[in-house]
Chain A
Amino acid sequence: SQELEQSPQSLIVQEGKNLTINCTSSKTLYGLYWYKQKYGEGLIFLMMLQKGGEEKSHEKITAKLDEKKQQSSLHITASQPSHAGIYLCGADQKGSSNTGKLIFGQGTTLQVKP
């Protein structure tokens, strides 16, 4: 079965610093989702990547899917306290199918110090 491994597990950065979170899959990714979660709340969709080499940006967050489609990275530029939370990557269990049955990485907890 497919597994998603996120690194690092937790991250503490000073406000204004850049950071990167990685998500590595044991199998080829056909769709990779990035979500953000505040503690005790639901997941907020950030971005979806489908093609090898694809890169998407929203405000100061950029997500990339490598050419081999087995690793994705989430990069935050000039971090702010509002970026703090848990970041999760997810992928469809059925690979190229569209079942909505996602598997998730274990999450990366980000703290941003003012």
Chain B
Amino acid sequence: DGGITQSPKYLFRKEGQNVTLSCEQNLNHDAMYWYRQDPGQGLRLIYYSQIVNDFQKGDIAEGYSVSREKKESFPLTVTSAQKNPTAFYLCASTSSWGTGPQSPLHFGNGTRLTVT
């Protein structure tokens, strides 16, 4: 079955360390997204990529970095510059963007990152 796989499910890191969250999809979707979820705040967009080798900052990109070397993969690095990294991180993808018909985002099961 096609879907989005995020790993690991739980991640613990010491303050000051960079950490990379994995996101892999086998849906053949061009566009991929990273969201952050905090209690009572809904989801906020960190970075997105609409094509391989290209990505754009979202609303809260500071302290994060991404790469998109393959269509299937969109890893997110949480750097030591991110002031409040503890959160639930969700990766998503969609088959259609731009002038095409609207289509929903498909989400992975998330990675819960705890930084102490």
Q: A residues bordering B, Cβ < 8 Å?
A: 4, 9, 30-31, 33, 35, 40-45, 48, 50, 88, 90, 92-93, 97-107
Contact = CB atoms under 8 A, between A and B. Distances in A.
Interface stretch (B14-22, B40-48, B60-68, B70-78): B40-48
B43 A100 contact: no
7 contacts: A43-B107, A45-B104, A88-B42, A98-B102, A100-B48, A100-B96, A106-B41
B98 A45 contact: no
Contact of A106 (B31, B40, B102): B40
Contact of B105 (A40, A45, A93): A45
Interface residues of B, number: 32
A17 B92 CA distance: 33
A15 B110 CA distance: 29
B84 interface: no
B42 A104 contact: yes
Contacts of B4: 42
B42 A40 contact: no
Of all A-B residue pairs in the complex, the 10 with the closest CB atoms, nearest first, are A104-B42, A42-B107, A43-B107, A42-B109, A45-B104, A106-B42, A31-B102, A104-B43, A100-B94, A100-B97
A41 B109 contact: yes
B57 to A, nearest CB: 11
A105 B37 CA distance: 11
A92 B109 CA distance: 21
A30 B101 CA distance: 11
B110 A50 contact: no
Given A98-B96, A98-B102, A42 B108 contact: yes
Contacts of A102: 43, 45, 105
A105 B104 contact: no
Given A88-B42, A106-B41, A106-B42, A33 B96 contact: no
Contacts of A30: 102
Nearest to B4: A42
A103 B94 CA distance: 15
A48 B104 contact: yes
A15 B86 CA distance: 35
